[in-house]
Amino acid sequence: MNPRILRPESLADACALLSQDEDALVYGGGTALQILRKQGILSASSFVDISGIPGLNNLHHTGNELLVGPMVSIRRMETDPVVRESVPIASAAYAKVANPRVRNTATVGGNIAHGDYRLDPPVALLVLGATIKATSTAGTRAIPIDKFFIDFQLTALNRGEIVTSIEIPISNDVVASTFVKFSSLSANDWPSASAAAAIVARDGEAQILRLALGALAPTPVMTAVDITGMREAQATEAAVESAMLIMDPLPDVRGGVEYKRNLGRIAVENAVRNLWRDRQSV
């Protein structure tokens, strides 16, 4: 049976609908939901379409944060000049999702809630230290992104919670940042390995290299290395060593474990090379 489509006009109504029916699911852009439903992997009594709720597709720059509504499209994150200037690494990662058709339809909230281990944007959001706001009839809570991905296809969202905002810090301490993605089937495809990295200044002299990996473990994962005073070769070695410790690739149609570990290492090497090229001072 096809799920009913419910179209609440307020957040309170959407939360109430979800709390009354534990088989109801939030409907963002539907790009993941519709495929999973057609494949018979997912069933739902109803889809709660949140596209008609005012304010959920807003994008605000507050000076030190970018506040992104869940219904903002992935395409907007790729193209909006404010996003490109304030958090270029996030814009670069959203630009690498699938193809323009998917990017026009898929939403920022649906992307993160989907919880797939291969998603591109979460690795950039991890490096930037984003916070996810989730709302239900119990109220709104803030989930730091490094606590959001729990296990394979499992996020910290409780049943009935709606992602209502993603808060991305904008910091002058980010000296350089980069996103690297390797796909083995086609350029538009899911990654076999991805890496986001940033050099962050700390207390004047110190430099921290923040590094997140996608498709290389059951969830997106992150590590950080103190690279104060290091040259490029040393920083690359330290980053690779740290990355290898958090890699735990799942074999899939895009590659086996050893292939992905090798690709992961190359993604990290390329990321550090990009950072060294682009940084202002290290």
Q: CA 135 to CA 73: how far, in whole Å?
A: 20
28 binding ligand FAD? (CB under 6 A)? yes
Q: CA 266 to CA 225: how far, in whole Å?
A: 17
Q: Which residues on adjacent β-strands are paired with residue 255? A: 252
Binding residue (CB under 6 A) for ligand FAD from 83, 162, 174, 235: 162
Q: Which stretch binds ligand FAD (CB under 6 A): 101-109, 219-227, 239-247, 255-263?
A: 101-109
Q: CA 210 to CA 66: how far, in whole Å?
A: 20
Comparing CA positions, the residue from 57, 73, 54, 58 lying closest to residue 13 is 54
275 binding ligand FAD? (CB under 6 A)? no
Per CB under 6 A, contacts with ligand FAD among 226-265 are: none
Binding residue (CB under 6 A) for ligand FAD from 26, 198, 213, 271: 26
Q: CA 132 to CA 163: how far, in whole Å?
A: 7
Q: Taking CA 40 as the corner, what is the angle to CA 35 and CA 41, rounded to the nearest 5 degrees? A: 80
Residue 188 or 228 with smaller CB distance to ligand FAD: 188
Residue 201 or 214 with smaller CB distance to ligand FAD: 214
125 binding ligand FAD? (CB under 6 A)? no
Q: Taking CA 219 as the corner, what is the angle to CA 157 and CA 93, rounded to the nearest 5 degrees? A: 95
Tell me the number of residues near ligand FAD by CB under 6 A.
Answer: 28
Q: Which residues bind ligand FAD (CB under 6 A)?
A: 25-33, 35, 70, 97-98, 102, 106-107, 109-111, 113-114, 119-121, 157, 162-163, 190
